[in-house]
A and B are shown apart, each in its own frame.
Chain A
Amino acid sequence: MVPYLFLGFAGLLIATALMVVLHKNPVTSALFLVLSFTSLAGIYLLLQAEFIGMVQIIVYAGAIMVLFLFVIMYLNLQHDVEKGAQIAVRRGIGWMVGALMLLFAGLIVRNGGFSPGPVQAVPPSLEGGNAQAIGRVLYSRFLFPFEITSILLLVAMVGAIVMIKGRPAADGAEGEKE
């Protein structure tokens, strides 16, 4: 059953992802993206990465995409206008590059051109759940990167706030309005 589920999720994933790229309306794109993220979460579950799957939904679907939607609504974007020769050329190049890339990647995957290192003999202990196992690793071996990431988030937060607030002296009135 798992492979079927995988195939199902994969199909959904690809379809929604394509829609993200193809759809002219950014809001719809965003919604399809949410859907594709959710499908991806499903695949994660199938790959026994429950924690990651849930976090995928919480972070991507619940936070990031809401932010996207928020911005799209804030900017009040409608259908994208995509016409003209330039766009056509660009589209041609884009799809060609995509096709080539897919071809190459496919070849690499087929040739087994990847070597991720030795397989660990003992699967990680899942007693107490996937989340606990990840927690153990995260707070021991990866503690330092973890802390760094938290600082990164703080910085990003401050940066985003500062950028959105604008220059206080230049357009204080505008800041007031928002």
Chain B
Amino acid sequence: MNLPMLWIIPALPLAAVALNLLFGDRLGKKGTSFLACGAVGLAFAAAIRAVLTLAARSPEERQMVETAWTWFRVGDFSADVSFLLDPLSAIMVLVVTGVGFLIHIYSIGYMAEDPSFRRFFLYLNLFMFAMLTLVLADNYLLMFVGWEGVGLCSYLLIGFWHEKQSATDAGKKAFIVNRIGDFGFLLGVMFLIAWTGSVNYERVFAAAPHLFVAGGSIITLATILLFVGATGKSAQIPLFVWLPDAMEGPTPVSALIHAATMVTAGVYMVVRSHVLFEMAPATLEVVAVIGAATALMAATIGLVQNDIKRVLAYSTVSQLGYMFFACGVGAFGAGIFHVMTHAFFKALLFLGAGSVIYGMHHEQDMRKMGGLAGKMPITHLTMLLATIAIAGIPPFAGFWSKDEILAKAFATGHYGIFAAGLLGALMTAFYMFRLYVLTFRGKPRFEEHAAHGHADAHGHDAHAAHGAHDDHGHDHGHGGPVKESPWSMTVPLSILAVLSVAGGWVGIGKPFIHGESWMATWLEPVLGHGPHMKHLSAPAEFALMGLSVAVAAFGIFMAFRAYLQQPSIATAVRERFAGVHNALYNKYWVDEFYGAIAVTPIHQGAMRLWRFWDEKVVDGTVNGVGYVLEGVSALLRLFQTGYVGTYALFIAFGVLALFLHFLRS
């Protein structure tokens, strides 16, 4: 049997990067897109092949390790460049390559007119490489390579339109916030190294039970630090602030990186480290609470945003919160399941939004949309399916995963968190359908021709006001009618729509079928049974499902009511709760808060350090020594009259002194 050749999966996009870098200027757009998509497609194929090989094995042997080379080895510590494929990473790798491939294809259409087409695919491929490294790594350090690598690509892609101040600001913010998370992650890894002497998953997990006391302070500290890393990458409280800003990037980027793949890396990491987290219940509590809080907070902010991508961004943050509180309650499998389904429908949502934006000639404000259903039928349909999926209506994908999370939360007795999740589901359904309604239903709130003149004239206003405007200088389609996007965009939409509908069926579990769901079975070799996991009775399960569906339905109804049938309700509510609205609209002023407590003081403190400490104190001391010497020499200079006679006299005195010395001895 051939080796699965795991390393080829990340190597393919990397090769594409190299080729693009070297020969990209000769390839032209077609060649570039073929190269980039081809590489990812091949990687997808290789991933399928590897996973099939894995699946062919018996569940206990479903683990493949491939060591490429020893990265570095110092003293008793060593780190390898080696790859691991097990059921967990198999899911991730398939999602990453699969969704990635679709988004690559989508991008061909979306970015067709951008002058930096080649650079875009370069970054995208680089991202694929980093993400696959992250997912396939078999130790924390190599994972960290991917971890930082995706951060870098995210930085580059957010700031893709680098002439736009807000874009580069957002990119920088993303990178730095991620770095803060990485700081935690790195320290967490160091804890592991210092105590277990290794970064290899297998060895760490094998050694952990012997070296750590379950619930002890060390393991708690280590896992908390790891979780800090996860909050950075996966945009949880308190480090979520970068993700909404990241919408400055091109929409396919938002779909791929900031919805489907990269942001889930934190979840993946936590799930990957479940052995450790399970040993630290306190950490799990923290994870759960933070996840729930994030889910709620992001959802509330999402309620009032007007920018279509921002709504999706907050929805992403919120959904990530779900995943984390799934992990926090011990339902790691459910977390990963939600990662998968979320990848499908959220990618679809973003791509759909991208399609809308494309069709609307770079208009992102939902208040200026409406009634697009007829003009963009495929987009409309696929978006609708995705919205239903995220709202949690069975049998769409989102329902299964979200319901499992809520059920697990309830089952483990986290009722508060369960309640928060339910509330979050309500709001999710509401704001998602608000988005749907505002975009596709009702009457168009734009004038097809005048609107664009208007947009042109006030392009800069909008730019300044929202800061999140997909205005990137190229002027394709300005002034044209709103129409459906090209096939390269609609085909991926359609495929993702299918997945959004059916993707969740792999997780249909207990109440419907006998035994564990296919998903749980598949993940079992990695996650184990979770002995503490209580199962609810079937009626209770059904009751919970009913509750969540009802909540979702209520949310949908409210949305239709407030935004389609009686828009005055929305206005009234907004005016009634102006303060709350304001807080939500301004995202609870978190950015401003961080600015006030961290950014400004550090900046000013640094300035003071430089101007006062460095230039006055340290250099002052140094120069002071000089001045003192100068003073002393000015005194001594009096002796240097310049007259030879004086010198001769001094010499004579010296001779006399010498003579005296001789006389005395």
| A-B interface, 7 closest residue pairs, ranked by CB to CB distance from nearest | A104-B659, A97-B652, A113-B662, A108-B662, A100-B656, A107-B663, A104-B663
Point out the residues of chain B lying under 8 angstroms from A108, CB to CB: 659, 662-663
Evaluate contact between B649 and A93: CB separation under 8 angstroms: yes
Point out the residues of chain B lying under 8 angstroms from A88, CB to CB: none
Contact with B along A86-119 (1 / 0, CB 8 A): 0000100100010011001101100101000000
Contact partner of A104 among B645, B649, B660, CB < 8 A? B660
Contact with B along A102-139 (1 / 0, CB 8 A): 00110110010100000000000000000000000000
Point out the residues of chain B lying under 8 angstroms from A100, CB to CB: 656
Point out the residues of chain B lying under 8 angstroms from A97, CB to CB: 649, 652-653, 656
- Name B665's closest neighbour in chain A (CB-CB): A113
Evaluate contact between B659 and A105: CB separation under 8 angstroms: yes
Q: Is B655 an interface residue (CB 8 A)?
A: yes
Measured CB to CB, the closest approach of chain B to A104, in angstroms, equals 4
Point out the residues of chain B lying under 8 angstroms from A104, CB to CB: 656, 659-660, 663
- Name A113's closest neighbour in chain B (CB-CB): B662
- Name A98's closest neighbour in chain B (CB-CB): B652
Point out the residues of chain A lying under 8 angstroms from B653, CB to CB: 97
Contact with A along B644-657 (1 / 0, CB 8 A): 01000100110110
Residues on B lying within 8 angstroms of A by beta carbon are: 645, 649, 652-653, 655-656, 659-660, 662-663
Point out the residues of chain A lying under 8 angstroms from B645, CB to CB: 90
- Name B655's closest neighbour in chain A (CB-CB): A101
Compute how far the CA of A101 lies from the CA of B659 in the bound complex, rounded to whole angstroms. 8
Measured CB to CB, the closest approach of chain A to B71, in angstroms, equals 64
Compute how far the CA of A165 lies from the CA of B663 in the bound complex, rounded to whole angstroms. 48
- Name B646's closest neighbour in chain A (CB-CB): A90
Compute how far the CA of A90 lies from the CA of B641 in the bound complex, rounded to whole angstroms. 15
Compute how far the CA of A107 lies from the CA of B660 in the bound complex, rounded to whole angstroms. 10
Compute how far the CA of A107 lies from the CA of B663 in the bound complex, rounded to whole angstroms. 8
Measured CB to CB, the closest approach of chain A to B466, in angstroms, equals 74
Evaluate contact between B662 and A101: CB separation under 8 angstroms: no
Measured CB to CB, the closest approach of chain B to A80, in angstroms, equals 14
Measured CB to CB, the closest approach of chain B to A82, in angstroms, equals 12
5 cross-chain CB contacts under 8 A: A101-B652, A104-B660, A105-B659, A108-B659, A113-B662
Measured CB to CB, the closest approach of chain B to A25, in angstroms, equals 20
Point out the residues of chain A lying under 8 angstroms from B652, CB to CB: 97, 101
Compute how far the CA of A90 lies from the CA of B663 in the bound complex, rounded to whole angstroms. 27
Compute how far the CA of A136 lies from the CA of B579 in the bound complex, rounded to whole angstroms. 114
Evaluate contact between A101 and B656: CB separation under 8 angstroms: yes
Compute how far the CA of A107 lies from the CA of B659 in the bound complex, rounded to whole angstroms. 10
Compute how far the CA of A126 lies from the CA of B663 in the bound complex, rounded to whole angstroms. 37
Compute how far the CA of A49 lies from the CA of B652 in the bound complex, rounded to whole angstroms. 30
Point out the residues of chain B lying under 8 angstroms from A90, CB to CB: 645
Point out the residues of chain B lying under 8 angstroms from A101, CB to CB: 652, 655-656, 659
Measured CB to CB, the closest approach of chain B to A87, in angstroms, equals 10
- Name B645's closest neighbour in chain A (CB-CB): A90
Measured CB to CB, the closest approach of chain A to B257, in angstroms, equals 73
Compute how far the CA of A111 lies from the CA of B664 in the bound complex, rounded to whole angstroms. 11
Measured CB to CB, the closest approach of chain B to A49, in angstroms, equals 26
Contact with B along A52-87 (1 / 0, CB 8 A): 000000000000000000000000000000000000
Compute how far the CA of A4 lies from the CA of B363 in the bound complex, rounded to whole angstroms. 126
Measured CB to CB, the closest approach of chain B to A118, in angstroms, equals 20
- Name A101's closest neighbour in chain B (CB-CB): B656
Measured CB to CB, the closest approach of chain B to A126, in angstroms, equals 34
Compute how far the CA of A105 lies from the CA of B656 in the bound complex, rounded to whole angstroms. 9
- Name B653's closest neighbour in chain A (CB-CB): A97
Measured CB to CB, the closest approach of chain A to B640, in angstroms, equals 18
Evaluate contact between A113 and B663: CB separation under 8 angstroms: yes
Compute how far the CA of A90 lies from the CA of B648 in the bound complex, rounded to whole angstroms. 12
Point out the residues of chain A lying under 8 angstroms from B655, CB to CB: 101
Measured CB to CB, the closest approach of chain A to B567, in angstroms, equals 96
Compute how far the CA of A108 lies from the CA of B645 in the bound complex, rounded to whole angstroms. 27
Measured CB to CB, the closest approach of chain A to B603, in angstroms, equals 59
Point out the residues of chain A lying under 8 angstroms from B663, CB to CB: 104, 107-108, 111, 113
Interface centre among A101, A104, A113 (most CB of B within 10 A): A104
Compute how far the CA of A108 lies from the CA of B655 in the bound complex, rounded to whole angstroms. 13
In the complex, given contacts A111-B663, A113-B663, what are 10 additional A-B residue pairs having Cβ atoms less than 8 angstroms apart? A93-B649, A97-B649, A97-B652, A100-B656, A101-B659, A104-B659, A104-B663, A105-B659, A107-B663, A108-B659
Point out the residues of chain B lying under 8 angstroms from A111, CB to CB: 663
Compute how far the CA of A93 lies from the CA of B660 in the bound complex, rounded to whole angstroms. 18
- Name A100's closest neighbour in chain B (CB-CB): B656
Compute how far the CA of A128 lies from the CA of B214 in the bound complex, rounded to whole angstroms. 108
Compute how far the CA of A108 lies from the CA of B658 in the bound complex, rounded to whole angstroms. 12
Point out the residues of chain A lying under 8 angstroms from B649, CB to CB: 93, 97
